């Protein structure tokens, strides 16, 4: 089955610790994205990558870092510099520029991060 | 900049009632428009999309028409079911003016509860 997997589903972290959220896709998509969702709000873009070895900051990148060493993988690290990291994190992928106006993003099941 | 505004929720309907969730957008270019649905504790699923003016997206009984003159993309369903209870997000993608590739701009979501 093709799709996007995120792990773990629930993650707990102590203040001051870095934590890495996994995102893997087997859809052969070029573009991958990380969003953050808070209660009562829409999704906000953290980072995106349109191609391997390249990524760009989104609207709320402070306190986060990413890497894109493989086409299939786009891990997100939540660092201790992120002031309010408790949230639901969603990873998505799409064909990106190859998809043109028809491009559609497909989402993983999400990781709920709680800082204790 | 680009933005999406959707009606505040929660919306509570009885089974078989007619559903409308309003969505309006602001975009500097020519966006593609999407409706996504999120069931509790899950990621987002694409419900329908439209890529140009007057296009109608439809899926599972839901419909939305891309209205450029009113900058709207309202979601409708003629007869809702209990299983339609979820949060619905309107979103746009506007690569022509966006600095974020094909990343989506989301509304804040509208929660729908359908009662038997």
pLDDT tens digits for A30-89?
999 999 999 877 899 999 999 999 999 998 999 999 999 999 999 999 998 888 999 999
Structural contact between residues B115 and B82, judged by C-beta atoms closer than 8 angstroms: yes
User: What is the structure's pLDDT at B99?
Assistant: 54
Structure tokens at B12: 């509570």
DSSP per position, A39-81: TTS-EEEEEEEEETTEEEE-TT-TTEEE--SBTTB--EEE-TT
| Residue A1 neighbours by CB under 8 Å, 6+ apart | none
Distance in angstroms (rounded) separating the CA atoms of residues A34 and A76: 8
User: What is the structure's pLDDT at A28?
Assistant: 94
User: What is the structure's pLDDT at A98?
Assistant: 72
Instruction: Using pLDDT thresholds of 50, 70 and 90, give the confidence band for residue B41.
Output: confident
Query: Using CB atoms, which residue from A59, A96, A110 is nearest to B102?
Result: A96
Structural contact between residues A23 and A105, judged by C-beta atoms closer than 8 angstroms: no
Tell me the nearest-neighbour CA distance from A5 into chain B, angstroms. 10
User: What is the structure's pLDDT at A104?
Assistant: 87
| Residue A115 neighbours by CB under 8 Å, 6+ apart | A12, A13, A14, A15, A85, A86
Q: Is A50 on the interface with B (CB under 8 A)?
A: yes
Distance in angstroms (rounded) separating the CA atoms of residues B25 and A42: 14
Q: How many CA atoms lie within 13 A of B46 on its CB side?
A: 18
Q: Bigger pLDDT: B115 or B102? A: B115
Residues of chain B positioned with their CB less than 8 A from the CB of A98: none
User: What is the structure's pLDDT at B98?
Assistant: 52
pLDDT, tens digit, 9 for 90 and up, residues B58-103: 999 999 999 999 999 999 999 999 999 999 999 998 766 555 566 7
Q: Do B102 and A31 touch (CB under 8 A)?
A: yes
Residues of chain B positioned with their CB less than 8 A from the CB of A44: 106
Structure tokens at A105: 């993003």
Residues of chain B positioned with their CB less than 8 A from the CB of A45: 100, 103-104
User: What is the structure's pLDDT at B40?
Assistant: 87
**Residue A17 Cα distances to A12, A35, A81, A83, B106, angstroms:** 10, 20, 9, 12, 30
Instruction: Using pLDDT thresholds of 50, 70 and 90, give the confidence band for residue B104.
Output: confident
CA-nearest residue to A112 within chain B is B41
Distance in angstroms (rounded) separating the CA atoms of residues B63 and B71: 16
User: What is the structure's pLDDT at A1?
Assistant: 60
Reading phi first (left if > 0) and then psi (alpha if -120 to 50, else beta), residue B90 is in beta
């Amino acid at each position: 089955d093709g799709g996007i997997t995120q792990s773990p589903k629930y993650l707990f972290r102590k203040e001051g610790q870095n934590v890495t959220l996994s995102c893997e896709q087997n859809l052969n998509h070029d573009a991958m994205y990380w969003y953050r969702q808070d209660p009562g709000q829409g999704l906000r873009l953290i980072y995106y990558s349109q191609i391997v070895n390249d990524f760009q900051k989104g609207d709320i990148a402070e306190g986060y870092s990413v890497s894109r060493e493989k086409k299939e993988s786009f891990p997100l690290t939540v660092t201790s510099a992120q002031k309010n990291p408790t949230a639901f994190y969603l990873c998505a992928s799409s064909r990106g520029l190859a998809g043109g106006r028809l491009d559609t993003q497909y989402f993983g099941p999400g990781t709920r991060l709680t800082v204790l | 900049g680009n933005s999406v505004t959707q009606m505040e929720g929660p919306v509570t309907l009885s089974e078989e009632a007619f559903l409308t969730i309003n969505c309006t957008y602001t975009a500097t270019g020519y966006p593609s428009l999407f409706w996504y649905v999120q069931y509790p504790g899950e990621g987002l699923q694409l419900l329908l999309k439209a890529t140009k003016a007057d296009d109608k997206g439809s899926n599972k009984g839901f419909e939305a028409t891309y209205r450029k003159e009113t900058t709207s993309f309202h979601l409708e369903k003629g007869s809702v079911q209990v299983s339609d209870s979820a949060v619905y997000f309107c979103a746009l993608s506007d690569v022509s003016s966006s600095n974020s590739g094909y990343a989506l701009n989301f509304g804040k979501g509208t929660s729908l509860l359908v009662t038997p």
